[in-house]
């Protein structure tokens, strides 16, 4: 799970990407002397005020930004909006402080007095942004039953006791005869929760027509029959990837058998039922219409296709090229699994897909931890493909796959330990174990039932940290790949080719200061330091590896723990010697300076 600092970093990324294009810097005389960093925090606070309205009123970003009133003479009101749907006039005070500071008592009192001034219709005390909204303010104040709601949004946990007391007093004063005023504070967890909620996949509720169907009721309800290929195509078009939320894979595009499926459904529609295995879907509940055995409608709540994504995707792609003949049908099985009382949905998905050719990484899609990571990264505008799909094959700076994440974590997340340290620990995690596995049998990294997967993707892993590791991995990988291409000697080329993961582990071992920062983007300073360490450590490892070349090559060395671990011992010992030499040299400088006349 993300740390407090990582949550703030993700919120900041989201505010900058979504609201900064709409929220300009305020250029006014009273802010002319502000440094740029203060202007930046000011824009973030206004963006946070807008986002509070998005969360409270379900309005779009542009509408929320249009409700910002922050500036000189704003009466302590950073944004206001008349939510006619729920009959609320909403006031927002926002404070973006990475320290988590909440609005202080004087700031809260200013907002209370600002609301009082609007109630008294002393509009001339306010700035132009407030006066531009007088029509809706007066409409709200004249509406019977309207509620005044104050939202204080910040990046901490709680308001101070004095500010809380003032707000309660203001509320109780105006609520003497009826409920008119309410207030609430929205801290870091609330704001982060809004972002998470936006990324939660929507449940698919729809209905289908089954022909020549049958069903069972025990031990659980299930139906099977024929579905029109054209109807299935419409279902996929209507709901897209949400329809495959419980599947291990999304549609992989026009490759291999998928092309054949699309061709058959168009050219031989009458034979399609006999040539296709059909699809399996699960639903929370299944409701039957009063049809007959030949044709009946079924309502499906929270339905997902768990086997047959390639068939469904291929049929939908074929439908885009023209109408599919009505005689094209396929078998579908729909199983009612309830609202998650047990793991039957996961077991159905796993069992039905084991009948097809799948890889270990495909079943990682059933790990709910992977969906959490996807949601966290989506908040920051990063696409995480933990299910194989056609889109996942395209390499982009703002996207990466589960396989790449597993490799980056394996190479960069763990400390390099000596044989002596390993002997003292009952269940040690050693970077050398992971990089040797990555070199020898990379698929073991993402086998969900294997020994490495749970260590690579623990419950406390944050999406931001994972993304940072991937970006560091890509940066170091480019350096080492460029070095390999520039080398003329065969053995050195092989070192930089086969020792790449190994070298990364030592760079990470010496770069905890860079690895652990809660920032998505590698700064220029980080890149310079990493580049230097990559060059220095690769040369040191290369030098220490020379005795091993008498009997084997680099491919064998870095695929084998019996060679890689002793080499790690030698490298760590040499690093300790160099550190001691540097420390002695640094301590000698002041002493020499004291003797200088």
SS (HEC) of 376-400: HHHHCCCEEECCCCCHHHCCCCCEE
d(CA 46, CA 96): 8
Residue 339: predicted pLDDT? 77
Q: What is the pTM of this model?
A: 0.67
Closest CA to 230 of 292, 348, 315, 350: 315
**Angle subtended by helix axes 188-199 and 36-57, to nearest 10:** 60
d(CA 210, CA 221): 15
- Give Cα separations from 481 to 179, 395, 493, 496 (angstroms): 68, 17, 10, 7
Q: DSSP 3-state assignment of 177?
A: coil
**Sequence spans of domains, the chain:** 4-198, 206-358, 383-579
CB 168 within 8 A of CB 202: no
CB 387 within 8 A of CB 365: yes
d(CA 490, CA 479): 18
CB atoms within 10 A of CB 24: 10
Closest CA to 54 of 43, 44, 65: 65
Classify each residue of 303-324 as buried b or exposed e, where b means 16 or more C-beta atoms within 10 Å of its C-beta. bbbbbbbbbbbbbbbbbeeeeb
**Do β-strands 383-385 and 399-401 pair in parallel, antiparallel, or remain unpaired?**
parallel
Closest CA to 572 of 415, 393, 402: 415
d(CA 167, CA 178): 17
For residue 177, what are its two tokens? 């005869």
d(CA 457, CA 205): 32
d(CA 222, CA 214): 9
What Rg, from alpha-carbon coordinates, does the chain have?
Answer: 31
- Give Cα separations from 333 to 92, 145, 319 (angstroms): 51, 52, 22
Q: Domain 4-198 has what CATH class? A: alpha beta
Q: Please identify which residue in the block is written with the tokens 């086969």.
A: 498
Residue 478: predicted pLDDT? 95
pLDDT, one tens digit for every residue, the chain (597 residues): 788 998 998 899 899 999 999 988 777 666 777 888 888 898 999 999 999 999 888 888 999 999 999 888 899 999 999 998 889 999 999 999 988 889 999 999 999 999 999 999 999 999 999 998 899 899 999 999 899 999 999 999 889 999 999 999 999 999 998 899 999 999 999 999 888 888 776 788 999 999 999 998 888 889 999 999 999 999 988 888 778 776 544 444 444 445 667 777 888 888 888 888 888 888 989 999 998 989 999 999 988 888 887 788 888 888 887 788 899 999 999 989 887 644 655 555 555 554 444 444 555 556 778 888 988 898 888 999 887 665 656 678 889 999 999 999 999 999 999 999 888 877 778 999 999 999 998 888 888 777 888 899 999 999 999 999 999 999 999 999 999 999 999 999 999 999 999 999 999 999 998 998 888 889 999 999 999 999 999 999 999 999 999 888 999 999 999 999 999 999 999 999 999 998 888 888 765 555 543
**What phi and psi, each to the nearest 5 degrees, are found at residue 32?**
-65, -35
For residue 44, what are its two tokens? 């973030």
Q: Is 142 exposed, middle or buried (0-12, 13-18, 19+ CB in 10 A)?
A: exposed
């Amino acid at each position: 799970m993300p740390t407090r600092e990582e949550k703030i970093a993700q919120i900041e990324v989201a505010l900058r990407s979504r609201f900064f294009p709409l929220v300009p810097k305020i250029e006014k005389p009273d802010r002319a002397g502000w440094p740029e960093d203060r202007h930046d925090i000011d824009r973030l606070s206004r963006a946070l005020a807008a986002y509070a309205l998005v969360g409270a009123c379900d309005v779009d970003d542009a509408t929320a930004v249009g409700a910002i009133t922050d500036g000189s003479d704003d009466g302590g009101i950073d944004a206001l909006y008349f939510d006619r749907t729920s009959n609320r006039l909403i006031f927002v005070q926002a404070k973006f402080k990475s320290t988590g500071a909440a609005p202080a008592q004087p700031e809260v009192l200013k907002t209370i007095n600002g609301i009082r001034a609007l109630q008294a219709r002393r509009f001339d005390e306010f700035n132009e942004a407030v006066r531009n909204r007088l029509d809706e303010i007066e409409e709200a104040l004249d509406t019977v039953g309207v509620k005044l709601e104050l939202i204080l949004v910040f990046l901490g946990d709680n308001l101070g006791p004095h500010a809380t007391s003032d707000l309660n007093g203001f509320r109780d004063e105006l609520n003497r005869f009826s409920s008119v005023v309410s207030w609430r504070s929205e801290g870091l967890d609330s704001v982060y929760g809004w972002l998470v909620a936006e990324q939660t996949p929507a449940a698919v509720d729809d209905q289908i027509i089954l022909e020549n169907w049958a069903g069972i009721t025990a031990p659980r309800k299930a139906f099977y029959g024929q579905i029109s290929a054209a109807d299935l195509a419409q279902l996929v078009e209507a709901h897209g990837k949400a329809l495959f939320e419980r599947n291990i894979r999304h549609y992989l595009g026009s490759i291999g058998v998928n092309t054949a499926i699309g061709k058959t459904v168009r050219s031989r529609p009458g034979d399609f039922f006999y040539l296709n295995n059909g699809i399996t879907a699960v639903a929370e509940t299944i409701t039957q219409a009063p049809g007959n055995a030949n044709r009946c409608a079924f309502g499906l709540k929270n339905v997902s296709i768990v086997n047959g994504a390639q068939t469904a995707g291929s049929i939908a792609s074929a439908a885009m090229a023209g109408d599919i003949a009505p005689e094209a049908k396929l078998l579908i099985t729909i199983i009612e699994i309830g609202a998650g009382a047990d793991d039957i949905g996961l077991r159905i998905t796993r069992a039905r897909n084991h009948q097809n050719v799948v890889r270990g990484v495909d079943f990682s899609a059933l790990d709910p931890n992977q969906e959490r990571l996807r949601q966290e990264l989506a908040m920051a505008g990063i696409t995480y493909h933990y299910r194989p799909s056609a889109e996942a094959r395209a390499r982009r700076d703002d996207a990466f796959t589960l396989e790449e994440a597993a490799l980056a974590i394996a190479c960069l997340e763990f400390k390099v330990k000596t044989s002596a340290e390993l002997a003292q620990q009952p269940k040690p995690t050693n970077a050398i174990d992971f990089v040797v596995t990555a070199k020898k049998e990379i698929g073991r990294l993402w086998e969900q039932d294997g020994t490495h997967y749970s260590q690579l993707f623990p419950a406390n892993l944050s999406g931001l940290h994972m993304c940072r590791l991937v970006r560091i991995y890509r940066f170091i990988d480019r350096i080492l790949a460029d070095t390999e291409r520039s080398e003329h000697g065969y053995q050195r080329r092989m070192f930089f080719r086969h020792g790449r993961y190994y070298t990364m582990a030592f760079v990470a071992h010496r770069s905890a200061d860079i690895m652990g920062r809660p920032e998505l983007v590698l700064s220029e300073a980080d890149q310079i330091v990493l580049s230097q360490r990559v060059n220095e450590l690769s040369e040191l490892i290369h030098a220490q590896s020379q005795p091993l070349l008498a009997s084997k090559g680099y491919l064998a060395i870095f695929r084998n723990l019996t060679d890689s671990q002793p080499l790690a011992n030698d490298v760590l010992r040499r690093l300790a010697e160099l550190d001691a030499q540097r420390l002695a040299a640094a301590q000698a400088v002041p002493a020499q300076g004291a003797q200088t006349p």
